[in-house]
Amino acid sequence: MSTTVTKNITKKSKREQIIEAAFKLFAENGFFATGVDLIMREAAVSKRTLYNYFPSKNELIVAVLQHYHASCQQHFASIMDFENKSARENIRALFEDAQTWFGNPNFYGCLAVNAMSEFSGKDQAIVKACQDFKQWEIALLTSITKQLDDQYPDLLACKLFILLEGMSSIAQVNKAGFPLNVGALADETIDRHLQKH
């Protein structure tokens, strides 16, 4: 018990090594196209160890999606500030961060969306992990729009969500970047929404 604790402090655990290697490969090459052998090589871990931590490839995929979920939560918590910044500022920060993220050459689309396209109707646990992630995303947006004094925060959150997902999807195919400032686009959307009520 104490062993693993001290280990986790000093260096990455085998479990983390595996998940991070798998995450990279799944994002880059897709899920079915990435074999377990490649993952274990990339993680510098034996096959035995891999199957010790994860009873099957699909359960590893679930763990990778949960890791993705958790690190997104952490990342967005770090760039937003509910106490000192306004709702609009937080949204702007989120969108501008997303824009640079989507423009990164290492961006291969949202992992959860990609997983859905390969596993919908096939593996219920994987599908659930994807949906949980998207639920969290919309909940995060709603928690911000609720701070605006508006009658329909869910509606506005949905509109912003559509913008984010659209940008992500387009960036995945195009890579050319957007001919517009997406922070400004979010602002426009909020303006128009508030005007209407």
Partner DNA sequence: TAACAAGTAAACCAATTTGTTTACCTTTGC
Partner DNA sequence: GCAAAGGTAAACAAATTGGTTTACTTGTTA
What residues line the site for DNA (CB under 7 A)? 2-3, 6-7, 13-14, 34-38, 44-49, 51-52, 55-58
**Rounded-to-5 percentages of helix, strand, coil across the chain:** 75, 0, 25
The token pair at 169 is: 């999807």
Residues 6+ apart with CB under 8 A from 136: 69, 72, 73
DSSP 2-45: HHHHHHHHHS--HHHHHHHHHHHHHHHH-STTS-HHHHHHHHT-
User: Out of DNA, its own copies, none, which partner does residue 6 contact, by CB within 5 to 8 A per kind?
Assistant: DNA
Position 134 contacts its own copies (CB under 8 A):
yes
Among its own copies, DNA, none, residue 44 binds (CB under 5-8 Å by kind)? DNA
Q: Which does 139 bind (CB under 5 to 8 A by kind): DNA, its own copies, none?
A: none
Which residue ranges make up the site for its own copies (CB under 8 A)?
28-30, 32-33, 108-110, 112-114, 116-122, 130-131, 134, 154-155, 158-159, 161-170, 172-174, 178-180, 185, 188-189, 191-193, 196
